[in-house]
Structure 1
């Protein structure tokens, strides 16, 4: 399987990655924590498929809409359940560790993470996988004044790198929120997921390139 790309895709000086379900597989843990939360709130839990479709924003952004005046309580319950399980069930997506090692060894290329996972959980997971030294900075939800899709976490991820957000910074993720964040910050949006983008799926924030997996993303970079 080959990656789609446009001829003038800019050479990257930095790669900013989403975390959940871009670099690691975390749907089962997120779904379990949401199920615990929904049940405690007296709500019917989402199915796994609904969780995959609905989860985009951070809890800070999404829970007030979902749970209204009980958002603070729901947030506490969600993170209590998540913290119990997230390191036990943490798995890298296929080929990601090797991909990151090769990218981190590339001269002149900076790696970072911009995630809507709470920062302390994000950094604990990176440490557990042995990936922390590979990244210039790991930015999670609540680390910046606003979370994705605002540009604040992108600017924080690049702080003290000598770079600013622009086309030579690729933002790589698997959801519309990632692509929208890339466009909002002026970065190059790259979609990494098995399914290619459907026509009209990302209006106004279409990916500049698509790769179905880590190996194909590496091939895309090598052919620059």
Structure 2
């Protein structure tokens, strides 16, 4: 396993569990629009793209009203229900010894940055790029270019993008980065469906691997 020079992270279900707020926001919006509500399993299975990429198809011409309802509901509770994923803090600490870090998420940028600050994690990241911050959202390469510019690193296999879904693996490869899956992707068809370059069972396993890589010699500049 090659030592990374930079690690970029997905946010929800990779570093944090914020699904309760997302589910609440969706269901408040669905109620206003007379649509069936989603349970947690449905939210986990269906939420992938950013709001600006998915809400027009879900809500049609009134998608901007749906956006406002959703964000209002999420802002009312997201910090209260936010919790780190198992091993996430240790993985972030271990990654700090290897190079700069950033986050690329399809969560709205201000919400993402508020959550990172709430957890005391913002200091670890050279970039916190959320939906709406770049010209296009993940899986487009635009947010990766923004994050890597802030990190001072060019794209390549020396950059890991760690996420929990097949979309994350697709996005990593589109940006020229190594696709690293965290968890079993049971909500997204499993590990084989995600097709990662590297797979770790959980944050604790990833933290241990990163700590081991940090003890190995860094590659020589050529």
What is the TM-score when the length of structure 2 is the normalising length?
A: 0.90
- Alignment check: 8 A CA contact 1:23 1:96 kept: yes
In structure 2, distance between residues paired with 1:49 and 1:90: 17
- The aligned residue for residue 86 of structure 2 is 94
Q: Which has the higher helix share?
A: 2
Offset of 1:110 from its aligned partner? 1.1
- The aligned residue for residue 58 of structure 2 is 66
- The aligned residue for residue 207 of structure 2 is 218
Aligned residue pairs total 211
From 100, 107, 132, the counterpart of 1:117: 107
In structure 1, distance between residues paired with 2:197 and 2:125: 23
SS of residue in 2 equivalent to 1:201: helix
- Alignment check: 8 A CA contact 1:15 1:171 kept: yes
In structure 2, distance between residues paired with 1:31 and 1:199: 24
Residues 1:69 and 1:48: Cα distance change in structure 2 (over 3 Å): same
- The aligned residue for residue 141 of structure 1 is 131
What is the TM-score when the length of structure 1 is the normalising length?
A: 0.89
In structure 2, distance between residues paired with 1:152 and 1:102: 27
Residues 1:199 and 1:31: Cα distance change in structure 2 (over 3 Å): closer
From 20, 28, 48, the counterpart of 1:56: 48
Runs of at least 5 residues in structure 2 that lack an aligned partner in the other structure? 214-222
| Runs of 4+ that moved beyond 3 A | 194-200
Residues 1:95 and 1:200: Cα distance change in structure 2 (over 3 Å): closer
Residues 1:200 and 1:97: Cα distance change in structure 2 (over 3 Å): closer
Runs of at least 5 residues in structure 1 that lack an aligned partner in the other structure? 1-8
Q: For residues 38-57 of structure 1, what are the structure 2 equivalents within 5 Å?
A: 38-57=30-49
SS of residue in 2 equivalent to 1:79: helix
From 156, 165, 173, the counterpart of 1:166: 156
- Alignment check: 8 A CA contact 2:127 2:151 kept: no
In structure 1, distance between residues paired with 2:191 and 2:100: 32
In structure 2, distance between residues paired with 1:187 and 1:110: 15
CA RMSD, aligned part only?
A: 1.6
From 189, 198, 204, the counterpart of 1:209: 198
From 2, 20, 33, the counterpart of 1:10: 2
Residues 1:207 and 1:62: Cα distance change in structure 2 (over 3 Å): same
Offset of 1:199 from its aligned partner? 7.0
Residues 70-106 of structure 1 deviation map (CA, whole Å, 9 limit, x = unaligned): 11011110000000000111111122122212322x1
- The aligned residue for residue 23 of structure 2 is 31
SS of residue in 2 equivalent to 1:150: coil
- Alignment check: 8 A CA contact 1:26 1:89 kept: yes
Offset of 1:21 from its aligned partner? 0.9
Offset of 1:200 from its aligned partner? 4.9
